Amino acid sequence: MRGLLSIFSIRGLIAVAALVLMVLAVDAGSVVLTRMSSHDDVQQAGYQAAAVAKQGPATRRTAVDALSAAERDAEPHDITVSSKGFTIYPDGRVKLTGTKTAPTLLMKHVAAFDHLIHVRTTLTVAPLPFD
């Protein structure tokens, strides 16, 4: 035990622990900011999809076009719009799910944090009343 303490000083261990805690705090802030912004970004992608959906009947072709519009709008924000669960309604509303991965330093390397850093947002969006 004495040999181990000579390799790692108590101050060094405390400094490493403090550094890990600071990195985790920064990562937690990144996750919180991603959760806050993803709703608006998915909603904007939903507006694009709803604009396409309200122009035509609720057919498979319209759904594919609306999904493509949502994916194009979400791509610059690093959001992946899932085709699973993507629904268009006859009145032009669209239900979609977007997933975004929070940019983290440490959490992305620890599998236990996967459910925290992958932010999934599901919304039902009505078309805007104006063009």
pLDDT tens string 47-73: 999 999 998 888 899 999 999 999 999
65 is a domain residue: yes
- The token duo for 127 is 């078309």
Split into its structural domains, the chain has a count of 1
Identify whether 131 is part of a domain: no
Sheet harboring 118-125: ordered strands across? 79-88, 94-101, 118-125
Residue 52 belongs to some domain of the structure:
yes
Query: Per-residue pLDDT tens for 99-116?
Result: 999 999 989 999 999 999
> Could you tell me if residue 18 is inside a domain?
yes
Any domain includes 130: no
Instruction: Name the pTM for this structure.
Output: 0.81
115 inside domain: yes
Range of the domain at 51: 2-125
Asked whether residue 69 is domain-assigned, the answer is: yes
CA distance 126 to 89: 9
Question: Would you say residue 42 lies in a domain?
Answer: yes
